[in-house]
Structure 1
Amino acid sequence: MALCANSTSLFLMYFLMAAIVSPHYFASPENKWDEVLIPYLPRWLIVSDDRHAVRWFYHGLPAGARLPWNDWFGPLAGWWPFLAAMLVVSFTLAALFRQQWVTNEKLSYPLMRLPLELVGRAGGPPTRPFSQRVFWIGAAIPVFFASLDVVHQFWPVVPRVVVDHLGCLQFGGFQVHPLWPHIMVCVNPLALGGAYFVPQDVLLSVWLLYGLAKMEEGVTTVLRLNPGSGGMFVWGNAGIAWQSFGAFLVLVSTILYNARHALASTWQRAIERNEQESESEPMGAAWRIGFFVGGFVFMAWWLVATGVPVGAAVVFLSLVCIIFLGLARIVCQSGIFYVVPPMIAQNPVFLLLGRSLGRRGTVALGLTYAWHGDVQTQLAVLAAESMKVAERAPIPGRQLATAIASVVALGLFTAPLGVIWLGYRTGAITFHTWLFRAWGPETYRQVLSFYEQAQPFGWMRAAYLAAGCLGMLALTAAHRSFAWWPIHPVGLAAVSSFTMYAVYGAYLIAWAAKGAMMRWGGFRVVQKAAPFFVGLAVGHYLGRIIMLTGYTYLGRPMA
């Protein structure tokens, strides 16, 4: 429940609110939004400034004025059914692949091993980590560095190791060549704790392919093999992003191929109305398929109603589902605690269709960046993880589905209320976030450029995409054909994520440590060391609490 409640806050409702309130506030004679943008936005989805609702939200409510809830209720009511359908599709995607991943393939779900180890439900003999000294040694390490960072804020003379906003211990960085990317050297305790439960071939895949991708980025930069912009919300090198997206598409194709029998079995049970389901299933086969198809069709209809052409809506939503499924697989298999897709669904659609979308279609599709832009906390990922916990707990699947539906619905309706109230109380322009200051101007500016300065897909983007597909096919074939092959293919689909800097060092350490323990101590030593790594993860969260408390007291944002 706690995992899935996270799916409706920052990276969904907050981005959405920035999208629907910013057009009228940032419109100016210079950008001509009153002519080229606002007339093409669906009025029923955007907050109007006719009664000063937008300006007051950014600058604060004047004395004696009433908070204009009605100006917000209309647009939110227009968005809520669509967002509910999107969340239903996300959840049912995870439910459709639960049997294949949990029962048939038996994925490791490394991140879920951490809470399961704490409660003794991870399988094998109970570890009782709280009673073991090594657990507390592991927990003490991130707590020490977090405490040292806070003390440094009060007394700068005290030295510290910088702890960044993700909890990474920063040890500087290096650059092989002035044109090569700067590589940060850091260790994240949470990533290290989770990495201990990741299979060795996956660990090697993540850190090795990330390193090779950085080398490739340096070489292609020197050779000026730059495909141009990767598109909106692609933070790293565009070539590596398109290459990783090619690998991502092959990964999802492999997922679908491997699950063909399980999906066919689900379809057969749905047709036959066979109610004999495992207790771990969150819903019956017919409900899983019905909710997924119904949600997809409703989303497509809604997008068409906003101005997106039918074909573009279907292609876009298909790519969205591919991204949701691929992200869920990467997290469940690799344990990367913070990962974003190499590409988001709008970018290839804009490049492939260009001006054929029309201005209205371009603006309407651009509005989808509100919920599918900075893709970081997706319900498909979180639900897939929670289904593994439910299987081990054990919790009946239908109870889990009911609980998740309840917390997600609650978050969907309540998340905007606090932001609206705080905006009118203090002025959203003063918020310590870029969302309400920069999201609108930057996003809508780029969306308009997709129509006014449309670019072709181009041979270089296609070459990087094809290279990623071929590389992933080769790695997948080697992994399936040779028992001795040490590199899992999953890392190639994740290496472009800007968050990988926080993971690769921890995965390298875990790979080396586990390899040494297995070679010279055996499985028993690996098992005995597990509480130490669980302690690192627990200490990470304790350290974040310490830093949040200290920085809040000082009135400073965390680094």
Structure 2
Amino acid sequence: MKERVGEEFTARSLLIGLLFCFILAVGTSYNLMVIHGSYMAIDFSAAAAIFLFFLLTFCINPPLGFLSPKLAFTSSELKVIYMMLVVACALPTMGMAAQILPILTSSFYYALPENSWAELIHPYIKPWLVPQSKTAIKYFYEGLPSWESGIPWGVWIRPLGMWATFLMALYLVMISISVILRRQWMEHERLVYPLAQLPIEMAERTIYRNGLMWLGFAVAFIVSSINGLHHYFPVVPQIRLVRYIPIFRHTQTLIFRLSFPMMGFFYLVHLDVAFSLWFFNLLSLIVRGFMTYFGIRFAENLGIYGARSPLFAHLGMGAITVLVVMGFWNARRHLWNILRKALWGADEVEDSDEIISYRAAFWVLILALAYMGFWLNASGMPGWIVPIFLAATFIIFIGLTRIVAESGMAEAVASTIGSSFVVSGFGTRVLGPEGLTAMAMTYVWSADVRTFVMASCTNGLKVIDDRSIKKRPVSWAVIGSIIVTGVTAVWMIMRLAYIHGGLNGNDWFFGGGAKAPYNYIVSKMIHPEGPNVTGWYIKGIGAGIMAMLTFLRARFLWWPFHPIGFAIGPIWIMDQIWFTCFLAWMIKFALVRWGGLKVYRSVRPIFLGLILGQFVCNGTWIIIDILAGGRGNRIFWI
């Protein structure tokens, strides 16, 4: 098919992108609440975006080109559509919509005399933050009774409207930071962006003509389809891709899990990065095992999110802080140029290839951050704590985004979260019950951060790194995708919750995840504590080790350890995928060592096929489950 040149940005790519964002929001929400199939929008891999993009590039676009070359989408148009989809994928479930509704209501629904939530929490929740009807909240969890005529939309208008202003400010900050750091990461440091490589090749359509890609595709698709058939026909044998081996007298578990997509992503990263990820994970497991064996434990309660031990939570926070600070230091000339462009309009600083100008990015960042600070203070967070909390939270966001762009960690979380950092570092007494309650509300957007707009936007910017695409209009496409997806997903989840009962929808988002913030702050209210000085020392040690690893890697070419491994290796998700990372590293090491880069590149399509095959299989089986009325056919988790 002949490629048309000069289309840059078209109205039809915007409209089709918005349509697919709507489909993505409806489909992922329905899958989460009713079908209970494989998660498609829960992490940075953006499985739903890949699946829909496959339908567009492989199933829809070729027939359009056959009918008329003018009907087919160009690669530039397809890349814009994918950027809209990947940003949209950060919103329907884990990233926002499945978090906000349960967290706003769970403190009322789960309040019991035994937990004293009504006395300890309710007096400090601002009425404009949550719906005020206890009946509407009850029906949200249990479903509307037959005598009720309709969903009580009215009680949700004010709280969701207030949250919408905050979340839009948050997303504008994330987009601005992505734009500010794009040139540094993409052109100066040349990060590999493993998560962007497959959609780029799908848009350019060369991958579909490669037989090795279809080999990898077939392996992932067939294995997962056999497991999908097992759900309907137990006589079909199940292929188990995970094994658990207890170690250290059953105090720790060594997990051997094979994940086809993660193997594909890890194959694309540098060898020292992949090696360091699995090495530091196993090292942390050994340390945890010895600590348990000898009765050494850190009793601090940091909540349920982050590393499995407070020791690694503090070490990781120190490490990721150094990662971000050193990144800013390395980017100091680039950041100075942006400041010159924003404040004095320096003509020699080029920003025409950005989706928004540097001046707009700078001022949007400042104004949106100011609004976020004002909003958080109004919600009950002490004024002097607000900048500390925002700094810690955005260090985590930026650090994770950098890690995803460099390491291929499509499944990643930070070692701790902003609210736990503040509570541990400054104590509960300076926050008081009102400040702690405000901290609980931040779990909506800053706690279980397995996906968020900044990382998605950063990968999307890599996908549209194409001179034929006019960049400025893409910013409006991204904002449009956020609005369409966010509104649709919230509407869909609310509607399904009132029809079927939220408790029947998803037991994590409407159960443990919804109760987690309030369990945490109530424990701190009942047992108030001062600053954890030991935690600060451990953070300092983590920062020192990270700085040393960074220095040694820069000084010695033979140094085998990448600092990212220390920062992210000990997280619980890495416990699940270390073996897959090890396999990908071992295969790539052998191919490069004995075959050279030529062999590595020739085998690369197989690993891209593993990613595509798994995600297409996930989406295919969700459609089968919808048509067949199947429930709980979760053929893939991580």
Shorter-normalised TM-score: what interval? over 0.9
In structure 2, what residue type is equivalent to 1:147? S
SS in 1 for 2:634: coil
Q: Do the aligned residues in 2 keep the contact of 1:173 with 1:182 (CA within 8 Å)?
A: yes
In structure 1, what residue type is equivalent to 2:287? E
Who is 1:329 aligned against?
402
Q: Residues of 2 paired with 1:473 and 1:138: CA distance? A: 39
Q: Residues of 1 paired with 2:511 and 2:557: CA distance? A: 53
1:224 is matched with which residue: 295, 317, 323?
A: 295
1:33 is matched with which residue: 117, 134, 157?
A: 117
Aligned 1:152-167 pairs, distance under 5 A: 152-162=230-240
Q: Residues of 1 paired with 2:624 and 2:297: CA distance? A: 44
Who is 1:429 aligned against?
503
Instruction: Find runs of 4+ consecutive structure 1 residues off by over 6 angstroms.
Output: none
Q: Do the aligned residues in 2 keep the contact of 1:15 with 1:435 (CA within 8 Å)?
A: yes
Pairs aligned (count): 545
CA gap of 1:64–1:364, structure 2 versus 1, over 3 A, is closer
Who is 2:325 aligned against?
253
Q: Do the aligned residues in 1 keep the contact of 2:129 with 2:159 (CA within 8 Å)?
A: yes
Question: Could you report, residue by residue, the CA deviation over 1:140-186 in whole angstroms, capped at 9, with x for unpaired residues?
Answer: 11112112212322333433222xxxxxx32x132332155201101
1:175 is matched with which residue: 217, 226, 246?
A: 246
Who is 1:388 aligned against?
462
Q: Do the aligned residues in 1 keep the contact of 2:307 with 2:416 (CA within 8 Å)?
A: no
2:611 is matched with which residue: 526, 537, 541?
A: 537
CA RMSD of aligned residues (A): 2.0
Q: Do the aligned residues in 2 keep the contact of 1:203 with 1:508 (CA within 8 Å)?
A: yes
Who is 2:170 aligned against?
86
Aligned 1:32-431 pairs, distance under 5 A: 32-49=116-133, 52-62=135-145, 63-120=147-204, 128-162=206-240, 169-170=241-242, 172-178=243-249, 180-228=251-299, 229-234=301-306, 236-274=308-346, 277-351=350-424, 352-392=426-466, 394-431=468-505
TM-score normalised by length of structure 2: 0.81
CA gap of 1:501–1:268, structure 2 versus 1, over 3 A, is same
In structure 1, what residue type is equivalent to 2:511? R
Q: Do the aligned residues in 1 keep the contact of 2:103 with 2:515 (CA within 8 Å)?
A: no
Q: Residues of 2 paired with 1:250 and 1:442: CA distance? A: 29
Q: Residues of 2 paired with 1:95 and 1:133: CA distance? A: 37
For structure 2, which runs of at least 5 residues remain unmatched after alignment?
A: 1-83
Q: Do the aligned residues in 2 keep the contact of 1:100 with 1:262 (CA within 8 Å)?
A: yes
SS in 2 for 1:134: helix
Q: Residues of 1 paired with 2:235 and 2:496: CA distance? A: 37
Q: Residues of 2 paired with 1:523 and 1:440: CA distance? A: 48
Question: Could you report, residue by residue, the CA deviation over 1:29-62 in whole angstroms, capped at 9, with x for unpaired residues?
Answer: 3333332211110001111126x21122223223
2:87 matched to 1:4?
A: yes
For structure 1, which runs of at least 5 residues remain unmatched after alignment?
A: 122-127, 163-168
Q: Residues of 2 paired with 1:531 and 1:184: CA distance? A: 27
Question: Could you report, residue by residue, the CA deviation over 1:429-481 in whole angstroms, capped at 9, with x for unpaired residues?
Answer: 22233222344444212212223312344454344323322221221111000
Q: What is the percent sequence identity of the aligned residues? A: 27
TM-score normalised by length of structure 1: 0.92
In structure 1, what residue type is equivalent to 2:522? L
In structure 2, what residue type is equivalent to 1:372? S
SS in 2 for 1:9: coil
SS in 2 for 1:555: coil
Q: Residues of 1 paired with 2:336 and 2:438: CA distance? A: 36
Relative to structure 2, which stretch is displaced further, 482-491 or 387-396?
A: 387-396
Q: Do the aligned residues in 2 keep the contact of 1:390 with 1:400 (CA within 8 Å)?
A: no
Q: Residues of 2 paired with 1:31 and 1:177: CA distance? A: 36
CA gap of 1:455–1:488, structure 2 versus 1, over 3 A, is same
Q: Do the aligned residues in 1 keep the contact of 2:436 with 2:521 (CA within 8 Å)?
A: yes
Relative to structure 2, which stretch is displaced further, 231-240 or 189-198?
A: 231-240
SS in 2 for 1:310: coil
2:631 matched to 1:555?
A: yes
Question: Could you report, residue by residue, the CA deviation over 1:259-308 in whole angstroms, capped at 9, with x for unpaired residues?
Answer: 11111110011112246634321211111110111111111111111111
Relative to structure 2, which stretch is displaced further, 518-527 or 263-272?
A: 518-527
Q: Do the aligned residues in 1 keep the contact of 2:140 with 2:494 (CA within 8 Å)?
A: yes
Relative to structure 2, which stretch is displaced further, 292-301 or 238-247?
A: 238-247
Q: Residues of 1 paired with 2:576 and 2:200: CA distance? A: 23
In structure 1, what residue type is equivalent to 2:152? P
Who is 1:508 aligned against?
582
Q: Residues of 1 paired with 2:614 and 2:547: CA distance? A: 37
Q: Residues of 1 paired with 2:579 and 2:194: CA distance? A: 17
Following superposition, the deviation at residue 88 of structure 1 comes to 0.9
Following superposition, the deviation at residue 504 of structure 1 comes to 2.1
Following superposition, the deviation at residue 502 of structure 1 comes to 4.3
In structure 2, what residue type is equivalent to 1:543? C
1:528 is matched with which residue: 602, 605, 612?
A: 602
Aligned 1:9-20 pairs, distance under 5 A: 9-11=92-94, 12-20=96-104
Q: Do the aligned residues in 1 keep the contact of 2:173 with 2:368 (CA within 8 Å)?
A: yes
Question: Could you report, residue by residue, the CA deviation over 1:479-537 in whole angstroms, capped at 9, with x for unpaired residues?
Answer: 00001112211111111322213432232222222222222222211111111111111
Q: Residues of 1 paired with 2:227 and 2:305: CA distance? A: 31
Q: Residues of 1 paired with 2:435 and 2:531: CA distance? A: 18
SS in 1 for 2:244: strand
CA gap of 1:239–1:394, structure 2 versus 1, over 3 A, is farther
In structure 1, what residue type is equivalent to 2:561? I
Q: Residues of 2 paired with 1:550 and 1:282: CA distance? A: 39
SS in 1 for 2:431: helix
Question: Could you report, residue by residue, the CA deviation over 1:326-367 in whole angstroms, capped at 9, with x for unpaired residues?
Answer: 011000000111101111000021121311212111112221
Aligned 1:475-494 pairs, distance under 5 A: 475-494=549-568
